[in-house]
A = this chain, B = another copy of it.
Amino acid sequence: MKKENEPRIKREKSYGWLMQRLNTRLRAALVGELQETGLSLSQFAVMMHVLDRTGQTQSQIGQHFAMPAYAISRAIDGLEEMGLVERKQGASRRAHQIAATQAGEALAPRLYSIVREVNGQELAALTEDEAATFLALLSKVHGGVP
């Protein structure tokens, strides 16, 4: 009997592989849902953050997502063109405060709904308890509650 292509290691249990797969799936699901809104993933992220916390500066938004400044800059370019967001002049003249326009606010329910739906469907394989544990562990890995 011939020794069939046996993997040296069960890579499917490795953190890296699992993250890669889950992230790919998450992104695909989000992109699908966002299709109708015309938002890209980064625009969506920024939009959510602006809806959550109005008036933050671009660099603050960037830190929140660990995204580079230029990505925020460009995401907001797009959101501004779509009339969903505006760069306001705050105390500082270099640090723009980003706020949702009325059209942007109007989009909020849809976006919140997408988040709920996608998060829910991605975690559908878990029981409620498991999901709670899972999120707690994700948070701990991230460096949240020790």
Contact = CB atoms under 8 A, between A and B. Distances in A.
A26 B18 CA distance: 11
Contacts of A112: 9
Which DSSP category, helix, strand, loop or mixed, fits chain A's interface?
helix
Nearest to A15: B119
B16 A119 contact: yes
Contacts of A45: 20
Nearest to A65: B20
18 contacts: A5-B53, A11-B48, A11-B49, A12-B139, A15-B123, A15-B138, A19-B23, A19-B26, A19-B138, A20-B45, A22-B138, A22-B141, A22-B142, A23-B23, A24-B65, A123-B141, A126-B140, A130-B137
